Amino acid sequence: MAKLYFRYGTVCSAKTLNLLAVAHNYEAQGKHVIVMKPKLDTRFGEGVVASRAGLSAKAHVLLDSAKLPPIASDTSCVLVDEAQFLWPEAIDHLHAVAHSDGVPVICYGLRTDFRRQLFAASKRLLELADSIEEVKTTCYYCNRKATFNQRLVPGEAQVALGGDDVYRPVCAEHYPKERDARYDC
């Protein structure tokens, strides 16, 4: 039976790199993979799934609503990047793809935002996923496990796409301490 997987981690934990490796492995075996991502993520270009390590691929599907397109019958796996930006209803649809259509779905994303609050889609994934796996990395300031995303730029908006210039992976001890005092976030 196929499963819905949620692989989460902080920023800079190689989630997208892992997704690209999984896609490559399926494709190297001649299997059909669908790579999806939210349409709002245009950091590396529209429809591009890219890791900080420099690897990239074209997304097959850009999601801009809670509704998913039909999944082709020859699909071996669905991979979703930046799943935290989806709608909870889209997670329900992905769950149905795994359980009704029999296609494994692997979602990669953040669990919480920079305020340490769950994203709505991540909450739904934690409720529905058959397998939940943490993709680990170390704190920017020490060698402990990073558990939070520290925002480096001012503002309160939950959705602020960015990379190393905007966010850092930090442990609980360094979450409030090392941030530049000029920023109130």
Which one of the listed residues 27, 82, 134, 173 is annotated catalytic? Answer: 82
- Count structural domains, the chain: 1
130-169 exposure pattern, b = at least 16 Cβ within 10 A, e = fewer: eeeeebebbbbbeeeebbbbbbbeeeeeeeeeeeeebbbb
8: number of Cβ within 10 Å: 23
Q: What are phi and psi of 86, to 5 degrees?
A: -80, 175
* Position with higher pLDDT, 138 vs 155: 138
Say if residue 139's pLDDT is above 70. Answer: yes
Domain that holds residue 22: 4-136
Please give the pLDDT value at position 43: 78
CATH code (residue 38): 3.40.50.300
- How many CA within 13 A on the CB side of residue 124? 17
Is residue 17 within 8 Å of 116, Cβ to Cβ?
no
In a domain, 101, yes or no: yes
Average model confidence (pLDDT) for the chain? 89
Task: Note the pLDDT tens digit of each residue in 42-54.
Answer: 777 888 898 888 8
82 is annotated as an active-site residue: yes
Is 56 inside any structural domain?
yes
